[in-house]
């Protein structure tokens, strides 16, 4: 099930919220969320809900065993076994086909098992891993209730596509949390903004990207290729950040506070800054659970960075283009660290444009899973292949899609946030405070309803509604 479906918007979520608020008991509400979270996951993949339940049970048991172990050596063995089983489970479902395919290229004749990828497995595997490691480190207390641990793992607002939530972030909220009208108001607005980003921007940008990049590259003009990859660049951002907004908003409705996952990454002045703003929960996971334990900056920094970016690439998909994508960003970050003093003297506007250009090149690697097609796509982008620079038909296409492109560009900047802050500041003026507060609430509700109505109309009239990060 996806948030941006009519069934979820108008049936699943209203019923879940209604049942959730029937009683104020936290224990009751936790049971409600566990039931609805399992139903949410099972709606699309009823078989693979067993994998989710098994993963939760396995890590719950490891947490108790490690937390109850008086011997450090025994705890370390249990931790190693837990990590191996978690990565083995993830590896089987996500990478077995890729492994067999590459072994066959070496001369073997293996038959790859027919295994579908359980949606969200990368996200909840990283969550359970972080819990077991933090228990071993003594940074969190052992969760003695399997139901409450299952709630942490399966909580449906962030189950499918993140953000990756660490147990330490919501441990106190599982047993005690407060929900008031202010948090519900904020959560609903944040959800509607995310829905609008997903349905009204990402879907339309994605349709154009698909039209440009998925057809015959020999018939594609250079202008068309750039339009396509730019639209994919914005689709990826508005799709994933929109889902994160919806997850954060729904979490707030239920009383949970999730950390931000995106912070306007396309205005970054360096690749380092970009990765501090993009998919923050994943970047911080690799930093705290891979990079620093390997030695961080203290020893073998280059090797540690290489390992992290190879794993980051593979985390995104079982394909060589993702490996290249990870290596690409490793090289950029490695170079950047050695010329930081030179870059500091470059004007900010040039650094922003060059960073954005390099990120777009990275998303080209990300988009093309077929390496031969990847090379051809770069050839069209830089005028070596394809149907020339532009055409009359392409000129019309560019003109028709210019408004959407401008919306994507402006929506990726600080402008929407600035407008919201100005409006909120005006309504927070002490003079006529009560009246302005009422205006603020009325205008915000009207804005929410407007976004919901537009999204509903769009969903009714179109079947194009992919969630890119579901495959991870």
196 and 455 Cβ atoms separated by less than 8 Å = yes
How far, in Å, are 12, 268, 295, 351, 458 from residue 340 at the CA level?
50, 14, 22, 12, 45
Q: With the CA atoms of 91, 97, 103 and 104 taken in that order, what torsion angle do they form, in degrees rounded to the nearest 10?
A: 170
Q: Please name which of 381, 337, 376 lies closest in space to residue 357, comparing C-alpha atoms.
A: 381
Query: Residue with structure tokens 């501090």?
Result: 276
| Residues counted in the chain | 472
CA distance 32 to 49: 17
User: Per the residue annotation, which of 316, 338, 385, 434 is the catalytic one?
Assistant: 316
Residues 66 and 72: their CA atoms lie apart, in Å, by 9
The Cα 120–Cα 56 span in angstroms is 13
List Cβ neighbours of 260 (8 Å cut-off, separation of 6 or more). Answer: 244, 248, 280
Q: Which two tokens mark 220?
A: 């594609």
User: 37: number of CA atoms within 13 Å, CB side?
Assistant: 28
C-alpha 314/C-alpha 162 separation (Å) is: 17
434 is catalytic: no
Residues annotated catalytic, as ranges: 316
């Amino acid at each position: 099930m996806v948030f941006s479906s009519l069934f979820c918007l108008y049936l699943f979520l209203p019923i879940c919220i209604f049942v959730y608020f029937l009683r104020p008991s936290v224990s009751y509400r936790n049971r409600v969320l566990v039931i609805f979270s399992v139903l949410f996951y099972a709606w699309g993949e009823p078989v693979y809900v067993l994998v989710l339940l098994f993963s939760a049970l396995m890590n719950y048991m490891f947490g108790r065993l490690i937390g109850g172990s008086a011997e450090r050596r025994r705890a370390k063995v249990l931790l190693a076994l837990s990590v191996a089983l978690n990565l083995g489970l993830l590896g089987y479902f996500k990478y077995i086909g890729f492994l067999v395919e590459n072994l066959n290229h070496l001369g073997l004749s293996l038959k790859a098992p027919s295994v579908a990828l359980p949606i969200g497995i990368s996200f909840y595997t990283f969550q359970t891993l972080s819990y077991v490691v933090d228990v071993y480190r003594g940074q969190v207390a052992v969760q003695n209730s399997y139901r409450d641990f299952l709630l942490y793992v399966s909580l449906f607002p962030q189950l499918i596509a993140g953000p990756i939530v660490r147990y330490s972030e919501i441990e106190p909220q599982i047993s005690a949390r407060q929900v008031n009208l202010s948090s519900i108001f904020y959560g609903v607005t944040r959800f509607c903004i995310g829905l609008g980003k997903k349905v009204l921007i990402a879907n339309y940008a994605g349709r154009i990207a698909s039209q440009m990049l998925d057809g015959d590259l020999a018939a594609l003009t250079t202008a068309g290729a750039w339009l396509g990859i730019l639209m994919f660049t914005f689709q990826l951002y508005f799709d994933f950040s929109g889902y994160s907004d919806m997850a954060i908003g729904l979490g707030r409705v239920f009383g949970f506070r999730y950390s931000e996952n995106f912070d306007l990454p396309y205005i970054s002045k360096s690749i380092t800054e970009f990765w501090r703003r993009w998919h923050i929960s994943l970047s911080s996971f690799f930093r705290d659970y891979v990079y620093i334990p390997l030695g961080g900056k203290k020893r073998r920094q280059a090797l540690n960075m290489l390992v992290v970016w190879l794993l980051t690439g593979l985390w995104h998909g079982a394909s060589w283009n993702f490996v290249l994508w990870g290596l690409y960003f490793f090289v950029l970050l490695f170079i950047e660290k050695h010329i930081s003093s030179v870059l500091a003297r470059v004007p900010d506007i040039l650094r922003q444009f060059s960073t954005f250009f390099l990120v777009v090149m990275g998303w080209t690697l990300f988009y093309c899973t077929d390496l031969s097609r990847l090379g051809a796509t770069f050839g069209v982008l830089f005028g070596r292949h394809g149907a020339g620079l532009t055409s009359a038909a392409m000129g019309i296409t560019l003109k028709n899609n210019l408004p959407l492109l401008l919306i994507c560009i402006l929506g990726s900047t600080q402008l929407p946030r600035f407008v919201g802050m100005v409006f909120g500041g005006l309504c927070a003026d002490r003079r006529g405070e009560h009246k302005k507060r009422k205006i603020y609430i009325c205008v915000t509700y009207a804005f929410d309803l407007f976004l919901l109505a537009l999204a509903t109309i769009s969903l009714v009239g179109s079947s194009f509604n992919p969630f890119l990060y579901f495959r991870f």
